[in-house]
Structure 1
Amino acid sequence: MFCSTRSIGLLGLEPFLISAEADLTRAIPSFDIVGLPDAAVRESRDRIRSAIKNSGFDFPERKVVVNLAPAGTKKAGASLDLAICVALLQAAGQLEGDFSSMAFVGELSLGGEIRPVHGVLPMALGAKQLGIASLFVPYENGAEGAVVQGITVYPVKNLAELAEHLRGTHTLSPAQPLPEGELPSGPLPDFAEVKGQQAAKRGLEVAAAGGHNLLMIGPPGTGKSMLAKRLPSILPPLSYEESVEVTQVYSVGGLLTSGGLLRQRPFRAPHHTVSPAGLTGGGSSPKPGEISLAHRGVLFLDELPEFSRQAMEALRQPLEDGVVTISRANARITYPSQVMLVGAMNPCPCGYYGHPTRPCTCSPAAVTRYLSRVSGPLLSRIDLHIEVQPVEYEAFSSPTPEESSQEIQKRVIAAREFQRLRNPSILCNAQIPPSLLRQSCPLDDGADRLLKAAFERMGLSGRAYERILKMARTIADLDRSEVIRAPHISEAVQYRSLDRKYWNR
């Protein structure tokens, strides 16, 4: 007898429909799975056999052939166990009914329990798009799948419970999303804890308001890492659409620790020993890398010159395009990578080149070699370059409280709203396309003259010109000014001057 059920597969974040077709014939008992299964799918034969027997069913002593269609697409992971098992029981006559509007996702244990799997949120979104009415998922994944509206998601604990629901003897309750108050969102570090560094804080505010990439250069102990870790606290809260995007990436990566949507912007700080694949994603079944896990948030690279040249160069295309494409022999997988890149570095190996009081012990050649580890093409993709100077004693001892993250965030949110009203299709100024640059960045006469002088004197490239214009647009937005004025251009040019000081570019 032949029967078929449905499941959902993923290529990166892209869902596709899988038909689990089971056929039973009178022949020497065997169990084969075809349709380009990987090792985890092939091993499901033993899991399914034991789960069926330990759940009160009879495993058919027939020749069993299961085909996973489409046969030309590789199937990976244990999430197909449940769909294969239901198709097999239906073909054996132990389950009856029309399951064509249903999809089944879950890994089976030997005892018949249904274990959680990765990627349920994008699977649920895909099931809705593909016209599936009901999706059965592991109990622990229920709240995650219930985030999607327009499809009924049933959380299932074990195979026997699922069989009772399909027979109509006991009805499962649909999953419900977690209430807003139950979603995990721990406190973020606050800028009020950072003494002094007003210039650096201003640069971080500009970067947050426009979504610009940022590089901080300064001696050890000046607070570069401390400042970077507080950047998420002044970024605007994630919108619902952004939360869904970020949660999908974490779900596929197996890093989702709760059933609800992620509400805080990601902050990823990989160690400098990370490989290029660790940054951009990869593996035999490609998983998202650090730049995708930081999507809609911050990717912080501390001690930037210590990262391998290959790893840093691998960031160039994702930073420019906002997506990472991983090519394999059997598939091309795309993950999102719209991040704010924040780098921090010392000016030399010893860290004290240009320090006002401590002498640098490095030779000029050593300083040059150290700085040259950061390539020109990567440096040109970083909008703001900020020099973080040592903090004076008076700043530490001052009783005056520092400005809190909440106060800075209000200005950032107001600037982002100003940008949204001007260009509703663009989230922030860093994403303004060249076609809208002139329209979005009108200059008064003084600003135009100043920008022309800076362009000619500094020998700016076309990319640097665009980034200065976008930064000036953000600074003007913080001032609630529709027109970019000379002070806005002056501050933006200042943020592009350190590469001339240290790299002579």
Structure 2
Amino acid sequence: MTLGRTLGVSLRGLTGHVVEVEAHLAASLPAFTLVGLPDAALAEARDRVRAAVTSSGLAWPNRRITVNLSPATLPKSGSAFDLAIAVATLAGAGLVRPEAVSGLVHLGELGLDGRLRPVRGVLPAVAAAVQAGHADVVVPVANEAEALLVPGARVVGARSLAEVAHRYGADLDVPDVVAVGAEHLEPGSSGPAADLADVLGQDEARVALEVAAAGGHHLLMVGPPGAGKTMLAARLPGLLPDLTEAEAVEVTAVHSVAGTFDPRGGLVRRPPYEDPHHTATPASIVGGGSGVPRPGAASRAHRGVLFMDEAPEFSTAVLQTLRQPLEHGELVLHRAAGVARYPARFQLVMAANPCPCGRAVGKGLDCTCRSEQRRRYFSKLSGPLLDRVDLQVDVQPVSRAALARASAAESTATVAARVAQARAAQSERLSGTPWRTNADVPGGWLRARLGPDRRLVVDLDHAFDRGLLSLRGVDRVLRVAWTLADLAGRTAPTRTDVGQALLLRTRGQATT
């Protein structure tokens, strides 16, 4: 037998494609050729595979070896094909039983000593294999727990290539090696467990945070340094409900591809929290890298919170890249190697100072910034971006009176219970629709449920006529009004709810 076949999986974003790995051995001068549109990391597999085979105690076949990754028109990337290439080569050389490996999926990177190293994206890769009818999968031991999260998958974890080859009939002694762990993968960011009771004062900002959690709304907080904006944002994930089963699988797949998933805790059940530094590049936020781009902070925050502290300090390019995911809940990244799609339906929370010095509070008597400096500073937050932010509130410095009332501050558990009740009301109202929260609902659907009485939205009409709101802004105010009604236990918003939603949208400018 001079031809060996097995299977691998190529990931494009979160979409997996089963790839047939063929190894042909010809009686000619020794050589190793890899075809099928491999990237640079995959093209280097020939050296890793050769070293791993010889280190495992197997004879490297001195023939002309041609490995084809089919379909040949699909670009392949990464080191996860190492194990499949090695197994196909050994099957073509007759060192393992070809019929034993032909229908199995092999995922894993090979070390030069023959040990199997964990790879990213095992969860979506195994899910794609099972969906294609290939339930038998061999992965590194460090990825076994992650692969077992896929229903219907029959997973075998292996420590080394020698162990895999012996399983398929190779005549060799399997050394007792220490499995390679996942320590080299990037650590994920766990959601903060801080309590909302730690925030002193800030009653208005706490209300805005509760509304944001209840309706899934985006939030902008503007205030001086030390007012508590960062503390409030860090406590938003604790107010959000647990992810559903489908959401947990989706979020876990993103973090698996990003290399930030720890399978020892099972699926990601809590909303993620990402807080990139203001020096972050556009590629680190939306995704990037050579070949097929990896998920960025926006995708890692999918179904959770993306917090941008000191938002005007981010580059304009970074801020503008957020407009697509805010509108569509998805990032489409076009690169020379192809197109990758990553989900990015997150809650955006931005915090900003009122000016570069941060002291423009009230009449701004202590502010040392010139007027053009203030305009230049805040103009980083463009109109199209702010138009997509439902809640825009001022966070004032904490007063001594607020400190005196701090002992009565509500905890995260208390507020989260009200958020859960509001989410339940939304689920009941939106059952049978593709939407989950008020922030997802289009304006036309909301307006149709308000009824013909225009007195309910007279304040909105005035704000629209004065140019304080765009048509998109009108719809977003209505979404917030429905959330306020849900928190109050009402079946529909009142004029008071619409007025309060308008104030939360315009930072009080609607009354001036």
The interval holding the TM-score normalised by the smaller chain is: over 0.9
Contact 1:300/1:341 (8 A) holds in 2? yes
Residues 304-345 of structure 1: CA deviation (Å, up to 9, x unaligned): 111111111111111111101111123111111101000011
Give the whole-Å Cα distance in 2 for the aligned partners of 1:55 and 1:168. Answer: 11
CA shift, 1:90, in A, is 0.8
Query: What does residue 261 of structure 1 align with?
Result: 267
Query: What does residue 181 of structure 1 align with?
Result: none
Query: What does residue 196 of structure 1 align with?
Result: 201
CA shift, 1:443, in A, is 7.5
Residues 268-293 of structure 1: CA deviation (Å, up to 9, x unaligned): 11111111122111222311111111
Unaligned runs of 5+ in 1: 171-183
User: What amino acid is aligned across from residue 226 of structure 2 in structure 1?
Assistant: G
User: What amino acid is aligned across from residue 272 of structure 1 in structure 2?
Assistant: H
Give the whole-Å Cα distance in 2 for the aligned partners of 1:284 and 1:255. Answer: 18
TM-score by length of 2: 0.91
Give the whole-Å Cα distance in 2 for the aligned partners of 1:242 and 1:381. Answer: 23
Residues 159-200 of structure 1: CA deviation (Å, up to 9, x unaligned): 222223333999xxxxxxxxxxxxx97761110111111110
CA shift, 1:399, in A, is 6.4
Contact 1:441/1:470 (8 A) holds in 2? no
Query: What does residue 440 of structure 2 align with?
Result: 431
Query: What does residue 352 of structure 2 align with?
Result: 345
CA shift, 1:491, in A, is 0.7
Give the whole-Å Cα distance in 1 for the aligned partners of 2:192 and 2:409. Answer: 18
Query: What does residue 174 of structure 1 align with?
Result: none
1:130 to 129, 132, 137: 132
1:210 to 207, 215, 221: 215
Query: What does residue 70 of structure 1 align with?
Result: 71
Give the whole-Å Cα distance in 2 for the aligned partners of 1:385 and 1:219. Answer: 15
User: What amino acid is aligned across from residue 397 of structure 2 in structure 1?
Assistant: P
Contact 2:192/2:234 (8 A) holds in 1? no
Query: What does residue 299 of structure 2 align with?
Result: 292
User: What amino acid is aligned across from residue 334 of structure 1 in structure 2?
Assistant: R
Q: Mapping of 1:168-187 within 5 angstroms? A: none
Query: What does residue 234 of structure 2 align with?
Result: 229
Q: Mean alpha-carbon deviation: is it higher for 475-484 or for 359-368?
A: 359-368
Give the whole-Å Cα distance in 2 for the aligned partners of 1:365 and 1:239. Answer: 48
Contact 1:101/1:133 (8 A) holds in 2? no
Q: Mapping of 1:60-459 within 5 angstroms? A: 60-96=61-97, 97-167=99-169, 188-259=193-264, 260-285=266-291, 286-355=293-362, 359-398=366-405, 400-424=407-431, 425-442=434-451, 446-459=455-468
User: What amino acid is aligned across from residue 205 of structure 2 in structure 1?
Assistant: A
Contact 1:121/1:148 (8 A) holds in 2? yes
Residues 246-301 of structure 1: CA deviation (Å, up to 9, x unaligned): 11111111112334212221111111111112211122231111111111111111
Q: Please provide the CA RMSD for this pair.
A: 2.3
Distance 1:430 1:317, change over 3 A: same
Give the whole-Å Cα distance in 2 for the aligned partners of 1:385 and 1:300. Answer: 14
User: What amino acid is aligned across from residue 433 of structure 1 in structure 2?
Assistant: P
Contact 1:444/1:483 (8 A) holds in 2? no
CA shift, 1:435, in A, is 4.8
Give the whole-Å Cα distance in 1 for the aligned partners of 2:490 and 2:269. Answer: 31
CA shift, 1:146, in A, is 0.5
TM-score by length of 1: 0.92
Give the whole-Å Cα distance in 1 for the aligned partners of 2:415 and 2:14. Answer: 34
Distance 1:126 1:499, change over 3 A: farther
Give the whole-Å Cα distance in 2 for the aligned partners of 1:342 and 1:227. Answer: 10
Q: SS at 1:5's partner residue?
A: strand
CA shift, 1:400, in A, is 2.9
Distance 1:407 1:443, change over 3 A: farther
User: What amino acid is aligned across from residue 373 of structure 1 in structure 2?
Assistant: K
User: What amino acid is aligned across from residue 372 of structure 1 in structure 2?
Assistant: S
Residues 472-500 of structure 1: CA deviation (Å, up to 9, x unaligned): 01111111211211111011010122284
1:463 and 2:472 matched: yes
Give the whole-Å Cα distance in 1 for the aligned partners of 2:191 and 2:375. Answer: 42
Give the whole-Å Cα distance in 1 for the aligned partners of 2:32 and 2:231. Answer: 58
Q: SS at 1:475's partner residue?
A: helix
User: What amino acid is aligned across from residue 229 of structure 2 in structure 1?
Assistant: K
Distance 1:311 1:250, change over 3 A: same
Query: What does residue 179 of structure 1 align with?
Result: none
1:32 and 2:33 matched: yes
User: What amino acid is aligned across from residue 451 of structure 1 in structure 2?
Assistant: L
CA shift, 1:433, in A, is 2.7
Residues 88-139 of structure 1: CA deviation (Å, up to 9, x unaligned): 1111111112434310000111221111001101101111111102011110
CA shift, 1:438, in A, is 2.8
Question: Percent of aligned positions with the same letter in both sequences?
Answer: 44
Q: SS at 2:359's partner residue?
A: coil
User: What amino acid is aligned across from residue 57 of structure 2 in structure 1?
Assistant: G
Give the whole-Å Cα distance in 1 for the aligned partners of 2:442 and 2:133. Answer: 35
User: What amino acid is aligned across from residue 374 of structure 1 in structure 2?
Assistant: L
Q: SS at 2:392's partner residue?
A: strand
Q: Mean alpha-carbon deviation: is it higher for 241-250 or for 356-365?
A: 356-365
Between the two proteins, the alignment pairs up a number of residues equal to: 491
Distance 1:100 1:133, change over 3 A: farther
Q: SS at 1:438's partner residue?
A: helix
Contact 1:33/1:65 (8 A) holds in 2? yes
User: What amino acid is aligned across from residue 110 of structure 1 in structure 2?
Assistant: L
Distance 1:399 1:11, change over 3 A: closer
Give the whole-Å Cα distance in 2 for the aligned partners of 1:277 and 1:204. Answer: 29
Query: What does residue 490 of structure 2 align with?
Result: 481
Give the whole-Å Cα distance in 2 for the aligned partners of 1:499 and 1:91. Answer: 73
Q: SS at 1:333's partner residue?
A: strand
Q: Mean alpha-carbon deviation: is it higher for 333-342 or for 393-402?
A: 393-402
